Structure 1
Amino acid sequence: MNLREASFTKTTIAAADSPRHLLKKILDTTRECMLVIDADMRIAASNAAARDAFGRGLDLEGRRLSEIVRDLDLHEAFRRAVFSQTQSEVRLELNTADRRRFDVHVAPLDLDGNAHAIGFFYETTKIERLESIRQEFLSNISHELRTPLTSILAFVETLEDGAIDDDENNRRFLGVIRRNAERMHSLIADILELSMIESGKVSVEPRRIALTELVDEIFASLGSKAETREVELFNDIGRSVTVLADRVRLEQMLVNLVDNAIKFNRVGGSVTVTHERLSSLDLISVADAGEGIMPEQQTRIFERFYRADRARSREMGGTGLGLAIVKHLAKLHGGEVTVKSILTEGSTFQIQLPRKD
């Protein structure tokens, strides 16, 4: 090795061991977004995660911090780190469609003898969304349980205060207690069922099913409820029609849909179940003649605890989980459930099952 080669090798090793080179290695192996800012508030270094979050994959080096993130608290945190050598914690929410959120730790950094600041962006978007869902779920559960519990306690106190000896009303009071207890039981059963489905603990075993016979059985079990509301039930499915599905789970889906169609129908209305076969799908439709669902509500109707008509749903004894269960069971079959509705004319819920002839 001659002197020039030795000098070149030494320079290369020194460059490889330089603070900037080491910093680049650290940045490239870090999953969290990281930015290094110089005294001019320009980006001196960044990693791939930061480029994806703030620059849509484009290079950020040399650009002003204000060009990619418009947040006064964040800018001040970097300024304090550079000029006052002070660490800071900042909450950041990007003004974008997905509203990404970050906990940001900003600290001073000496780089080649020059004052810089480094920011570590820990994304909390998913955690906060999950926490929001958890809080909403607990709030809904509390509300749904409080209503029947309040009714049960009120009637129990009435009975304890002497109504137990009131032959005209004690049976009625006990009936109210039973109905509310059954409502709580149904709610808890639906919560457990939905939890098992969402956690992947429920599987389906598709078999060939005679669809019209299944619908007849469902009509028979819900017939008295339909008679009470003077709702007619029509099974317009051909006797030879079969579909590939898990019988228990398909029955569960159809019971939920037919039961809802009866509950939210108009007095003297009708519920009609039909079947249509496409090249790759079996379509099972449940149509009612109710008041219909507002367009803005149709996009949320399959959410847990969402009700288009809360007062009527509680009056009819719904838990607000039935359609969410139907949606998940349809997906377990590799299918989907949809709704079409026209105000004052009625709604049609459709289960789409893949065909495998």
Structure 2
Amino acid sequence: MIESGESFGQMLAHVWHILPLAVAFTLPVALVGGLVLYWLRRGSLTTTLTVLVLIPVLATLTGVLAISGFMFTPALMTMLLVCLLVALVTVPAAVLLGRVIARRSVWEREARERERAGEAARRDLVAWISHDLRSPLAGIRAMAEALADGIVSEKDEVADYASRINGETARLSAMVNDLFELSRITAGALRLTMSAVPLQDVVSDALAAQTVVANQKKVRVLADADVWPVVTGSDPELARIVRNLVSNAIRHTPPDGTVAIRVGVEGEEALLSVDDGCGGIPEDELDRVFDVAFRGTQARTPDRSGSAGGGLGLAIAKGLVEAHRGRIHVHNHGDGCRFEVRLPLAAS
């Protein structure tokens, strides 16, 4: 028992003897590692975790070498081999873990950004639609009360009021349809019946539907094509895309202006462009053109016709184009802007 006590005491004395030496050599390694981590604080998570794993391994290795007096004994070689094996196991694990955590962090950050963007879009949509619904509802109510109270009794006046009520009701119906279509797109509930669709028929039907509005605004609508391609898509939704783009172009083109539709083929895609005379869009607003309820600022020609929608037409067009695996883009061109839609061609 005494010998054991003496051996234990000798061991404690030896530990206290080598402890300052171990601390003196390992502490600088830890400090340097801390500085490297601070320098890498804005770097990749994988690199940070790798350095974090290497710091204790290198500190341990340095401390062992210092205590041994750099005498390469079998015990020291065994310790070095253990440190090497630890590094070989922990470094790849740190790299894999860093990549997994980084991917998860990026996914969570993107999910939060999408959620914030979606919430902001919903707030904007509610604000815009609430404002736009108020005007036609107030007009309908006022005209209905005038008819009910007998304020308007002449046959021609009654017919005029009835026509106005019908027009305001049509506006409300169109806004509700836009909301329903947009909700289907954003909820992923849109189901397309894909087939080979001649783009010439789609453009012709869309232009026929906008002829009355264009004539009322005295806007010329021209269509031209190098070749009329056949695309893969759903006929009603493709017509909705072209109709929304042409309607938007007519709305923002001043009287005696021109809306030009041009169709062609580029590579494996059909290209449809719609040019208007809106006066151009500020560069800082080009990325927001397809946002829900975005209508632009004073740079675009104001619409006093009372035909403006709820600012959903371009958002719907973008959603429908992407549902067709196509692309839509806008840029300033000439005295207005150009909307370009690219759709996949149908198989021969």
TM-score by length of 2: 0.62
Question: Residue 326 of structure 2 is aligned with which of 311, 314, 335?
Answer: 335
Superposed CA deviations along residues 149-173 of structure 1, whole A, max 9, x for unmatched, are 1222222223333223144533322
Q: Find the residue that maps to 2:343 and give its secondary structure.
A: strand
Question: Residue 261 of structure 1 is aligned with which of 249, 273, 289?
Answer: 249
Equivalent in the alignment of 2:307: 316
Greater share of helix residues, 1 or 2?
A: 2
Equivalent in the alignment of 1:162: 150
Once the 2 structures are TM-superposed, how far is the Cα of residue 304 of structure 1 from its aligned partner? 1.0
**Equivalent residue runs for 1:36-51 within 5 Å:** none
Once the 2 structures are TM-superposed, how far is the Cα of residue 254 of structure 1 from its aligned partner? 0.4
Question: Are 1:207 and 2:195 matched, yes or no?
Answer: yes
User: CA, structure 1 residues 128+326, in 2 after alignment: closer, same or farther (shift >3 Å)?
Assistant: closer
Q: Find the residue that maps to 1:312 and give its secondary structure.
A: coil
* Percent of paired sites with the same residue: 27
C-alpha contact 1:163 1:170 (8 A) present in aligned 2: no
**Equivalent residue runs for 1:1-357 within 5 Å:** 57=45, 58=48, 130-238=118-226, 240-308=228-296, 312=303, 315-342=306-333, 345-355=335-345, 357=347
Q: Which amino acid aligns with 2:341?
A: I
Distance in 1 (CA, whole Å) between partners of 2:145 and 2:121 is: 36
Distance in 1 (CA, whole Å) between partners of 2:229 and 2:199 is: 6
User: CA, structure 1 residues 56+339, in 2 after alignment: closer, same or farther (shift >3 Å)?
Assistant: same
C-alpha contact 2:229 2:264 (8 A) present in aligned 1: no
Q: Unaligned stretches of 5+ in structure 2?
A: 1-40, 53-105
C-alpha contact 2:328 2:341 (8 A) present in aligned 1: yes
Superposed CA deviations along residues 208-248 of structure 1, whole A, max 9, x for unmatched, are 22222332232223222222222222221246532222222
Q: Which amino acid aligns with 2:231?
A: V
Q: Unaligned stretches of 5+ in structure 1?
A: 1-52, 62-97, 102-122
Greater share of strand residues, 1 or 2?
A: 1
Distance in 2 (CA, whole Å) between partners of 1:356 and 1:303 is: 29
Distance in 2 (CA, whole Å) between partners of 1:338 and 1:347 is: 10
C-alpha contact 1:283 1:351 (8 A) present in aligned 2: yes
Judge which range, 304-313 or 230-239, deviates more.
Answer: 304-313
Distance in 2 (CA, whole Å) between partners of 1:125 and 1:325 is: 21
Judge which range, 195-204 or 236-245, deviates more.
Answer: 236-245
Q: Which amino acid aligns with 2:312?
A: L
Structure number with greater Rg is: 2
TM-score by length of 1: 0.61
User: CA, structure 1 residues 174+129, in 2 after alignment: closer, same or farther (shift >3 Å)?
Assistant: same
Once the 2 structures are TM-superposed, how far is the Cα of residue 285 of structure 1 from its aligned partner? 0.7
Equivalent in the alignment of 1:104: none
Aligned residues: 247
User: CA, structure 1 residues 202+171, in 2 after alignment: closer, same or farther (shift >3 Å)?
Assistant: same
